[in-house]
């Protein structure tokens, strides 16, 4: 079934259409677009553009106009890491988790670039997925470097963002997030080692450091640590997750956010973040079709 240029991702577990959609556009990444004409997803990260499609048997294939290789795609999808996290969850002790594990077995937590993850979640407050996507596309077209031969643009670096004006950020419809993005950009640009340092810090210290950035609170910090640094113990608690936890665990229903996050890290352990994504997918209850419509690329195909 591999047409010209399509390369199967070998040695991977089969994945359902729903699990794939949840993985790509369920709220952890924002630059995956369903291309109806291709029957494939187009994803953009750093200088990579990758088309990803699933055959009827559940095998993934990709092709890349940027020459991104199979190892890089597999590293980004990070499916093995999610399987390892799943094995560490207390599935036997927690029937709720056991059921979600079966239902969402193919769902993976992507290994996304840290800088892009921070930018995305700095934009995310008080916004729905669709609006976050739109903000990022405006930032990419206004300030991002072209990705050669694709007509696409990368997200701007923090160094680049440090040089722009607040009004030009507001022109990207960032609203009150604009000054936060700018102040964060200036702080990071003045501290070139920040990413390495963050990666070397223990979870709690890394979280505290992130929270010192303007516009970064507990939830955003956990999203950055989970999606952009690969800290499986991070458990972002937003309104959806708070509701989902309340529904599944009535005894903690009225706990404040911060306590829910602590409870989850203790109860779920090193793979807590994966459980969070299962709860999120479960709570949304959106169809695959709805996810595709949400993320269909309205630009010229």
Partner DNA sequence: AGGCAGGTGGCCA
Partner DNA sequence: TGGCCACCTGCC
Residues that bind DNA (CB under 7 A): 26-28, 124-131, 134, 170, 173-177, 211, 213-221, 223, 236, 238-240, 256, 258-259, 280
Closest C-alpha to 114, from 193, 22, 35: 193
* Nearest distance, CB of residue 206 and DNA, angstroms: 14
Contacts of 136 (CB under 8 A, 6+ apart): 30, 31, 119, 120, 123, 155
* Nearest distance, CB of residue 64 and DNA, angstroms: 25
Task: Return the number of the residue (28 or 64) whose C-beta is nearest DNA.
Answer: 28
Task: Tell me the CA distances in angstroms from 173 to 81, 140, 142, 249, one per residue in order.
Answer: 36, 13, 12, 38
DSSP E strands: which ranges in the chain? 7-8, 32-35, 40-45, 48-54, 60-63, 146-147, 152-153
Task: Return the number of the residue (126 or 300) whose C-beta is nearest DNA.
Answer: 126
Task: Return the number of the residue (130 or 197) whose C-beta is nearest DNA.
Answer: 130
Task: Return the number of the residue (106 or 236) whose C-beta is nearest DNA.
Answer: 236
d(CA 40, CA 173): 29
Q: In this structure, what DSSP letter does residue 226 have?
A: I
* Nearest distance, CB of residue 208 and DNA, angstroms: 11
Task: Return the number of the residue (63 or 292) whose C-beta is nearest DNA.
Answer: 292
Cα-atom radius of gyration of the chain, to the nearest Å?
19
* Nearest distance, CB of residue 121 and DNA, angstroms: 8
Task: Return the number of the residue (238 or 282) whose C-beta is nearest DNA.
Answer: 238
* Nearest distance, CB of residue 126 and DNA, angstroms: 4
* Nearest distance, CB of residue 45 and DNA, angstroms: 17
Other beta carbons within 10 Å of 298: 6
CB-count burial class (<10 Å; 0-12, 13-18, 19+) for 85:
buried
SS3 89: coil
* Nearest distance, CB of residue 262 and DNA, angstroms: 9
Task: Return the number of the residue (127 or 160) whose C-beta is nearest DNA.
Answer: 127
Note whether 12 and 105 are within 8 A (CB).
Answer: no
């Amino acid at each position: 079934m591999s047409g010209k240029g399509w390369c199967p991702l070998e040695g991977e577990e089969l994945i359902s259409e729903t699990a794939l959609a949840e993985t790509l556009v369920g709220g952890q990444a924002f630059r995956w677009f369903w291309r109806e004409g291709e029957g494939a997803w187009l994803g953009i990260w750093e200088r990579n553009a990758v088309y990803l499609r699933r055959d009827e048997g559940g095998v993934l294939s990709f092709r890349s106009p940027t020459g991104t290789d199979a190892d890089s795609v597999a590293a980004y999808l990070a499916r093995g890491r999610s399987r390892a996290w799943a094995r560490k969850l207390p599935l036997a002790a927690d029937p709720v988790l056991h059921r979600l594990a079966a239902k969402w077995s193919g769902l993976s937590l992507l290994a996304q670039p840290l800088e892009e993850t921070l930018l995305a979640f700095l934009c995310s407050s008080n916004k729905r997925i669709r609006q976050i996507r739109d903000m990022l596309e405006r930032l990419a077209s206004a300030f991002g470097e072209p990705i050669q031969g694709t007509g696409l643009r990368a997200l701007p670096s923090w160094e680049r963002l440090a040089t722009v004006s607040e009004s030009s950020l507001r022109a990207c419809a960032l609203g009150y997030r604009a000054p936060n993005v700018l102040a964060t950009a200036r702080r990071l640009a003045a501290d070139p080692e920040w990413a390495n340092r963050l990666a070397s810090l223990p979870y709690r210290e890394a979280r505290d450091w992130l929270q010192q950035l303007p516009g970064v609170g507990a939830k955003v910090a956990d999203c950055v640590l989970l999606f952009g640094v690969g800290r499986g113990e991070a458990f972002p608690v937003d309104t959806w997750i708070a509701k989902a936890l309340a529904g599944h665990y009535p005894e903690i229903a009225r706990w404040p956010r911060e306590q829910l996050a602590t409870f989850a890290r203790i109860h779920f352990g090193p793979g807590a973040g994966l459980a969070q994504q299962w709860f999120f997918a479960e709570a949304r209850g959106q169809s695959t079709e709805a996810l595709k419509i949400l993320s269909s690329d309205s630009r010229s195909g």
